[in-house]
Structure 1
Amino acid sequence: MPKRSYDQYCGLARALDVIGGRWSLLIVRELLVGPARYGELQAGLPGIATNLLAERLRELEETGIVQRTLAAEGNGVVYMLTPWGSELRGAVGALVNWSTPLMISGPRADDSFRGHWLVVALNSLLADRRSDTPTTVGVAVDDEVVSVRIDEKGTHVELCRGEEPATVLRGEAAVVLGMASGMLTVDQAVAASDLRGKKKDLVSAFARG
């Protein structure tokens, strides 16, 4: 039983017992992008105290959501989601989609943003996209390039760690997210950003019918 519990025999209450703590779902968001070292997690969670991050990671490990393993390179330790923890992708995606009305006003003056957050956001906002003609484009915020591929199986978003796609839109987070959510048209997004490549590729990936 978690230290703090709603003491209700309800699936939602039980879920909130283990992931309802402050920062817990944001740690899950970071690990949905991929395994991460402690320092990488802290960098991706601006505002979290290091002792609180350690506490939340310990709680998530104890409940079977997060596990530690040796890094592929070096002797360090990385944190990753367990198979059960990875099943939170759908719940996180549903919250991202639900949040659209809250995002319309744009970032507040004290809001931070990290480019890799686009991986989870775009996977969620574009989850219903399909294309018989595969299209791959890049979007970049603060020099962090994210690759978006739409094909017959769906949407695939990941950090671009190698050669960038031929078409890349560089712009503000609010513009990229607005285009992905359908609040902005591709033309509006292009007008407010820097496009390298072909606008028709962006249309294929982002335009709503």
Structure 2
Amino acid sequence: MVGKSYGQFCGLARSLDVVGDRWSLLIVRELLLGPARFGELRAGLPTIATNLLTGRLKDLEAHGVIERRLAGDVNAIVYALTPWGQQLREPVSALIRWSTPLMAAGRHNDAFEPRWLLPALSALLADRRSTSPATVILLVDDTPIQVTIADDGPHVELLDEVPADNRAVLQTTPGIALALAAHAIAPEEASALDRDYPGAREAIRAVFAY
């Protein structure tokens, strides 16, 4: 059931009427990475109750933020953001940038999934441009994340494995990866290169330098 309204003629209040409930923006975060089945969303939000996830999905669908689609030849139902829902990318990115002081406190016992770094790194590096593309692979919890800065901005993606070619590979932690992207630390302060080749350090500076 769609929750109660704040009853205010204000854009912020009406936005919160739609996405202000607990878990709603985290569902949006998962779907900004691509369409997902119910079970995939449940796995990406490990502490949400199944009935609560069902309710939040129904509410977001009723508001026109998400939609259900048939995926592939197996006729599986996936959830996806509508074009209007996709417009939440920038507000979510702005919240990620705003959270930098909060993230500086450290991970503690919080859950973490490497894929959560994709929207975070994209948001924190949004203003980076390079006419000569530079690529760095961050190895976080044994998961390779490729970060490329090009003339149209950052491109961040998960890889299945570390490529065999000559690319800078930096083995690091989630906190260090975020600190690099937020310019809270200099590239020279990060963990040692896992694979050092001519030009690797220059690539890291091109991606993460102040």
SS in structure 2 opposite 1:116? helix
Q: How does 1:1-209 map to 2 (within 5 A)?
A: 2-72=2-72, 74-108=74-108, 110-161=109-160, 164=163, 166-191=167-192, 195-197=194-196, 198-208=200-210
Letter in 2 for 1:32: L
CA distance in structure 2 between the aligned counterparts of 1:170 and 1:78, rounded to whole angstroms: 34
CA distance in structure 1 between the aligned counterparts of 2:206 and 2:73, rounded to whole angstroms: 37
CA contact (8 A) 2:2 2:62 kept: no
Structure 2 residues not aligned, in runs of 5+: none
Structure 1 residues not aligned, in runs of 5+: none
CA contact (8 A) 2:144 2:162 kept: no
For residues 102-146 of structure 1, the C-alpha deviation after alignment (integer angstroms, 9 at most, x for no partner) is 1112112x2110000011000100000000101122223223322
- Taking every aligned residue pair, what percent have the same amino acid on both sides? 51
Letter in 1 for 2:149: I
Q: How far is 1:207 from its partner?
A: 1.0
CA distance in structure 1 between the aligned counterparts of 2:84 and 2:162, rounded to whole angstroms: 33
RMSD, aligned CA? 1.8
Comparing 137-146 with 198-207, greater Cα deviation is found at: 137-146
CA distance in structure 2 between the aligned counterparts of 1:66 and 1:125, rounded to whole angstroms: 25
Could you tell me the TM-score, scaled by structure 2's length? 0.91
Could you tell me the TM-score, scaled by structure 1's length? 0.91
Number of matched residues?
205
CA contact (8 A) 1:129 1:155 kept: yes
Letter in 2 for 1:68: R
Q: How far is 1:52 from its partner?
A: 0.8
SS in structure 1 opposite 2:207? helix
C-alpha change, 1:85 and 1:106, in structure 2 (3 Å) is same
CA contact (8 A) 2:143 2:161 kept: no
Q: How far is 1:199 from its partner?
A: 2.2
Q: How far is 1:100 from its partner?
A: 0.7
CA contact (8 A) 2:66 2:80 kept: yes
Q: How far is 1:63 from its partner?
A: 0.6
Q: How far is 1:162 from its partner?
A: 6.7
Q: How far is 1:83 from its partner?
A: 0.7
CA contact (8 A) 1:130 1:151 kept: yes
CA contact (8 A) 1:33 1:158 kept: no
Letter in 2 for 1:167: A
CA distance in structure 2 between the aligned counterparts of 1:145 and 1:7, rounded to whole angstroms: 46
